[in-house]
């Protein structure tokens, strides 16, 4: 409450909350829920307050403090490192090494391990031979310990109105010291008195709340919370580099999980969706225009779109996030619509008898108004999310920035780039068709010439044959004469 940015703090101590690592209720933990003041009433962000709070609480001995937030847009995002293996001791050693490496990476606020989530317990290890020698059974020892520290109902007291249970147990001050367990007096079956320390060993240890397994092997999970100084992608890349440089024993491996894994899967899905969207739009335009050339020209509006979107993220210092990629996916359809309007009207003018360049010069000014109206109406709707929204708009801000900058840059460049590409491409294909037509005409002439030559050779051969027959007939006539 000493922070001026904090409005309200509520606490829950023991047994009612769940661990951020295991998800299981624990009785030795406490949770503080901190409600911040509205963003316009404070000078620092939530992440900055969290970072300072973590620095203040580092020196408290015997306590592990983890600070995190569910508001991913307000600060850093968590990533998870999973270490798998069979031997718990080796896993604990690797857990300590990896935790130290992760804690020294810039941008990491805290590292929490599933091994740290152990519940403190006092364990009693019975020496069965000594117990048998004294003639005392494990059940008698358990009953004595439960009575001393948990209490046992021994009788009822009635005062005429109510019935009160009478429980027998050790005094409260003795229960607070675990060392008194060893001095707990027991009575054997022979009536002899002995201490619990004579037949058992009492140790304080941390019992794991749960044992995590992955593909049949034990697994340790390290949850990393970021300080907000660096985006998740940069920290994840450095974490991967550091872990690849470490030497893991044979049979032990690591992998990234948590938000890092989800982000990678989301990125792959969205990139695949963008590729499929571009391919489907191209096929639909090819069917509508009945041409493979004109959809290719329209596709030239996409590079300026990507340039504008990434420029907007760079100007505002935002990382490439899932929300930003969703905005980029939206842009594909919006910017292509502007190019389609321009190319379609150019085709109408050319069908009306105008030349290519003349049609392009007329189509630009005529279609400028609807293109600008589309761009302005879309961008103005998103301006409140990008610049004037409160805490609730922080998640949508990357999407708004991507669409605003991408559409603005694409519109300005499309009005110049698409007509230029249309003119150059149409001129190239026109020359190619003419060259192909001339080559085809030459081939036809050569083929006709070959046919004529063949016919002439056939006629000459026929004439020679007839001449030979006439000469033979004349010779026969002279011989007859």
pLDDT value at residue 143: 86
**22 close to 114: Cβ distance less than 8 angstroms:** yes
Cα 296 from Cα 279, distance rounded (Å): 11
Comparing 133 with 389, the larger pLDDT belongs to: 133
pLDDT value at residue 22: 45
Comparing 223 with 459, the larger pLDDT belongs to: 223
What are the tokens at 226? Answer: 């970021």
Is the domain spanning 291-439 CATH 3.50.30.10? The answer is: no
Q: Long-range contacts made by residues 258-266, C-beta under 8 angstroms, separation at least 24?
A: 258/78, 258/79, 258/80, 258/223, 259/72, 259/77, 259/78, 259/79, 259/80, 259/232, 260/79, 260/80, 260/232, 260/236, 261/80, 263/77, 263/232, 263/233, 263/236, 263/321, 263/322, 266/322, 266/325
Average pLDDT of the residues in 20-31: 61
- % of the chain beyond a pLDDT of 70: 80
Residue in 21, 218, 8, 49 with CA at minimum distance from that of residue 118: 21
**In the predicted structure, residue 377 carries a pLDDT above the cut 60:** yes
**In the predicted structure, residue 74 carries a pLDDT above the cut 50:** no
pLDDT tens by residue, 217-230: 788 888 887 776 77
Average pLDDT of the residues in 341-364: 83
The residue ranges of every structural domain in the chain are 6-118+211-261, 120-207, 291-439
DSSP class of 104:
T
pLDDT value at residue 8: 92
Name the least confident of 187-201, 307-321, 432-446: 432-446
What are the tokens at 175? Answer: 């229960």
pLDDT value at residue 130: 85
**In the predicted structure, residue 81 carries a pLDDT above the cut 50:** yes
pLDDT value at residue 378: 85
Residue in 314, 311, 316 with CA at minimum distance from that of residue 387: 316
CATH topology classification for 6-118+211-261 = Alpha-Beta Plaits (3.30.70)
pLDDT bin (cut points 50, 70, 90) of residue 366 is confident
Tracing tokens 């005392």 back to the chain, one arrives at: 136
Cα 350 from Cα 366, distance rounded (Å): 15
3-class DSSP state of 160: coil
Comparing 98 with 27, the larger pLDDT belongs to: 98
Name the least confident of 2-11, 38-47, 116-125, 160-169: 116-125
**In the predicted structure, residue 197 carries a pLDDT above the cut 50:** yes
pLDDT value at residue 206: 67
Cα 4 from Cα 41, distance rounded (Å): 10
Cα 205 from Cα 100, distance rounded (Å): 23
Average pLDDT of the residues in 415-441: 72
Cα 110 from Cα 102, distance rounded (Å): 9
Name the least confident of 15-29, 30-44, 429-443: 15-29
Average pLDDT of the residues in 77-93: 79
Cα 175 from Cα 224, distance rounded (Å): 38
**In the predicted structure, residue 460 carries a pLDDT above the cut 60:** yes
Residue in 123, 173, 127 with CA at minimum distance from that of residue 145: 123
Average pLDDT of the residues in 161-181: 83
Please, what is the average pLDDT of the chain? 78
pLDDT value at residue 354: 82
**In the predicted structure, residue 195 carries a pLDDT above the cut 60:** yes
pLDDT value at residue 16: 47
- % of the chain beyond a pLDDT of 90: 1
Cα 102 from Cα 117, distance rounded (Å): 18
Is the domain spanning 120-207 CATH 3.40.50.300? The answer is: no
Domains 120-207 and 291-439 share a fold: no
pLDDT bin (cut points 50, 70, 90) of residue 73 is very low
**In the predicted structure, residue 450 carries a pLDDT above the cut 70:** no
pLDDT value at residue 118: 64
Name the least confident of 158-167, 258-267, 374-383: 258-267
pLDDT bin (cut points 50, 70, 90) of residue 77 is very low
pLDDT bin (cut points 50, 70, 90) of residue 21 is very low
């Amino acid at each position: 409450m000493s922070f001026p940015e904090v409005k309200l703090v509520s606490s829950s101590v023991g047994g009612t909350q769940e661990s951020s690592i295991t998800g299981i209720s624990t009785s030795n933990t406490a949770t503080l829920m901190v409600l911040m003041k509205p963003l316009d009433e404070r000078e620092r962000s939530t992440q900055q307050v969290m970072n300072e709070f973590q620095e203040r609480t580092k020196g408290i001995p015997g306590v592990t403090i983890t600070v995190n937030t569910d508001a991913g847009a307000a600060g850093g995002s968590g990533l998870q490192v999973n270490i798998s293996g069979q031997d718990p001791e080796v896993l604990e050693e690797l857990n300590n090494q990896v935790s130290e490496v992760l804690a020294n990476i810039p941008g990491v606020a805290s590292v929490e391990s599933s091994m740290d989530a152990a519940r403190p317990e006092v364990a009693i290890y019975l020496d069965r031979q000594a117990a048998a020698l004294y003639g005392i059974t494990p059940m008698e020892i358990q009953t004595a310990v439960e009575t001393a520290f948990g209490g046992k109902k021994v009788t009822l007291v009635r005062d005429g109105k109510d019935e009160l249970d009478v429980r027998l147990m050790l005094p409260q001050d003795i229960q607070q010291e675990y060392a008194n367990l060893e001095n707990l007096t027991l009575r054997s079956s022979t009536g002899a008195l002995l201490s619990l320390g004579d037949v058992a060993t009492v140790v304080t240890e941390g019992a794991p709340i749960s044992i995590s397994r992955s593909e049949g092997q034990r697994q340790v999970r390290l949850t990393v919370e970021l300080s907000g100084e660096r985006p998740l992608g940069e920290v994840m890349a450095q974490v991967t580099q550091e872990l690849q440089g470490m030497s893991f024993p044979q049979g032990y491996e690591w992998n990234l999980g948590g938000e890092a894994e989800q982000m990678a899967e989301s990125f792959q899905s969205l990139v695949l969706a963008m590729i499929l969207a571009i391919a489907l739009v191209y096929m639909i335009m090819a069917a509508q225009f009945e041409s493979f050339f004109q959809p290719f020209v329209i596709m030239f509006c996409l590079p300026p779109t990507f340039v504008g979107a990434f420029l907007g993220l760079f100007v505002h210092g935002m990382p490439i996030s899932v929300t930003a990629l969703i905005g980029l996916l939206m842009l594909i359809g919006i910017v292509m619509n502007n190019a389609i309007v321009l190319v379609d009207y150019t085709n109408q003018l050319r069908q009306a008898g105008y030349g290519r360049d003349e049609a392009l010069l007329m189509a630009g000014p005529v279609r400028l108004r609807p293109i600008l109206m589309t761009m302005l109406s879309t961008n103005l709707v998103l301006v409140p999310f990008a610049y004037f929204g409160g805490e609730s708009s922080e998640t949508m801000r990357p999407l708004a920035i991507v669409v605003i900058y991408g559409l603005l840059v694409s519109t300005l460049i499309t009005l110049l780039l698409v007509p230029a590409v249309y003119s150059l491409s149409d001129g190239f294909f026109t020359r190619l068709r003419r060259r192909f037509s001339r080559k085809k005409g030459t081939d036809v002439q050569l083929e006709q010439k070959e046919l004529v030559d063949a016919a002439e050779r056939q006629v000459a051969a026929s004439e020679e044959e007839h001449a030979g027959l006439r000469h033979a007939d004349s010779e026969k006539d002279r011989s007859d004469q």
